[in-house]
């Protein structure tokens, strides 16, 4: 069975307020986001028969609690996932007839990433088996090493990568819902003047760590045609997992063969029947500038080692070859603990023509990439098209 291209669509999206700290619970944010996404679609909670939470360590009992909230009916499609992967799996679910309306959602309130989000144990062992925080660190030191290796291996200059932070902030200034947009534009000099977090990464090259939520709704073709907004069709999508969850680093750290991101992109583009040149706008996972460079390479928008040059050339900026992360991304819009749905939502909004001053002119086809634990670890890609 081939991927059911154009048999399911994104029909509703919603993002709550994103802020450093919100006087809310994660549950209240999730309810707000699910209701908001259904309202955007013109659907009722009683229409939902599929759920994909994107929470950490999701128990199946969570689906039962939501079944009660959604009208006391059986939920016939249940899964877990991340952003683009959730969209792809929901499309498979509705195309197979397992469900008609699937909601994917996530919210964070108060959880903080890294050591500050985990209480220290009074005695040994202080961390669990195979913990990536065994040295008391988390993402920034790991990505600092990756950045240094990438710069050394391909002769990349720091300012080429720093340019991504400048682009992301520019986009955020056009998005009133972003966390950092109200603080205004920045320059490469501003990036280098911000305090060093983990050499060579400065503060403005690191992601946000904030509260907030989001949700999106995937519906069958029949339902999508009756919804309030124009459907954004799922053309193809895939999910993959590999090694390197900040601990098992393979010898060929950067190679032409690629890993999880490369696999999902090749599958998704093959299913969708479109080329890289057809992509008008993209949502790339951008927790650090080097991640964006490697995303571009692994997704074959450029060759390995050319991602930083692609960024510095301005191709990701509005008006460029492929504007990406037009909401401001994880550096300037929001990183709410698990931000893997923001890429799907922003691309869907672009394809619906709803982005105002940050709108990509004539956007018809978009790609969204969600990932975690680097381009080697956990990844998913989805290709979407305007109606």
Longest dimension (CA), the chain: 59
Q: Are strands 281-283 and 365-372 parallel, antiparallel or unpaired?
A: parallel
The whole-number pLDDT of residue 128 equals: 66
Residue with tokens 């124009």: 230
Q: Above pLDDT 70, what percent of the chain?
A: 90
| For range 281-307, the mean pLDDT | 97
Enumerate helices (H) and strands (E) in the chain, giving the number of each.
Answer: 12, 11
The whole-number pLDDT of residue 54 equals: 87
Interatomic CA distance for residues 341 and 331, integer angstroms: 15
Could you tell me the two tokens for 71? 């009208």
| Confidence class for position 247, pLDDT limits 50, 70, 90 | low
| Confidence class for position 278, pLDDT limits 50, 70, 90 | very high
Lowest mean pLDDT among 185-194, 249-258, 339-348: 249-258
Burial of 152 (0-12, 13-18, 19+ CB in 10 A): exposed
Burial of 370 (0-12, 13-18, 19+ CB in 10 A): buried
Closest by CA to 338, choosing from 88, 82, 109, is 82
Beta bridge partners of 384: 234, 366
Could you tell me the two tokens for 96? 């197979």
| Confidence class for position 73, pLDDT limits 50, 70, 90 | confident
Closest by CA to 288, choosing from 320, 330, 328, is 330
Beta bridge partners of 198: 201
The whole-number pLDDT of residue 263 equals: 95
| Domains of the chain from N-terminus onward | 8-108 (3.40.47.10)
Give how far Cα 101 sits from Cα of 5, 43, 233, Å.
17, 9, 14
Give residue-wise pLDDT tens across range 190-240. Answer: 999 999 999 999 999 999 999 999 999 999 999 999 999 999 999 999 999
């Amino acid at each position: 069975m081939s991927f059911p291209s154009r048999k399911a669509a994104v029909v509703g999206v919603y993002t709550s307020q994103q802020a450093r700290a919100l006087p809310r619970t994660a549950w209240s944010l999730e309810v707000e986001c699910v209701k908001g996404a259904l309202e955007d679609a013109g659907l009722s909670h009683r229409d939902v028969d599929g759920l994909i939470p994107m929470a950490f360590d999701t128990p199946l009992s969570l689906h039962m609690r939501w079944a009660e909230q959604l009208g006391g009916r059986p939920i016939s499609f249940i899964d877990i996932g991340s952003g683009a992967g959730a969209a792809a799996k929901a499309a498979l679910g509705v195309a197979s007839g397992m469900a008609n309306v699937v909601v994917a959602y996530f919210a964070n309130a108060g959880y903080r990433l890294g050591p500050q989000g985990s209480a220290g144990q009074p005695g040994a062992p202080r961390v669990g088996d195979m913990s990536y925080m065994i040295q008391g660190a988390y993402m920034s030191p790991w990505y600092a090493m990756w950045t240094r290796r990438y710069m050394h291996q391909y002769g990349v200059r720091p300012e080429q990568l720093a340019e991504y932070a400048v682009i992301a902030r520019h986009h955020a200034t056009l998005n009133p819902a972003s966390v950092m947009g109200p603080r205004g534009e920045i320059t490469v000099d501003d990036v280098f003047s911000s305090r060093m977090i983990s050499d060579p990464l400065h503060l403005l090259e690191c992601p946000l760590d904030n509260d907030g939520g989001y949700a999106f709704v995937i519906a069958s073709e029949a339902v999508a045609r009756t919804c309030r907004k124009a459907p954004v069709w799922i053309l193809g999508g895939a999910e993959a997992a590999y090694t390197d969850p900040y601990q098992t680093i393979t010898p060929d750290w950067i190679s032409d063969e690629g890993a999880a991101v490369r696999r999902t992109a090749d599958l998704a583009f093959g299913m969708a029947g479109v080329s890289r040149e057809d992509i008008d706008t993209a949502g790339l996972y951008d927790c650090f500038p080097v991640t964006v460079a490697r995303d571009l390479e692994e997704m074959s928008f450029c060759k390995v080692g050319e991602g930083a040059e692609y960024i510095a050339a301005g191709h990701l900026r509005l008006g460029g070859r492929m504007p990406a992360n037009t909401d401001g991304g994880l550096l300037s819009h929001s990183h709410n603990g698990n931000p893997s749905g923001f890429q799907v939502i922003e691309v869907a909004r672009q394809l619906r023509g709803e982005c105002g001053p940050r709108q990509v002119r004539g956007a018809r086809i978009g790609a969204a990439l969600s990932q975690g634990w680097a381009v080697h670890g956990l990844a998913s890609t989805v290709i979407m098209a305007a109606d």
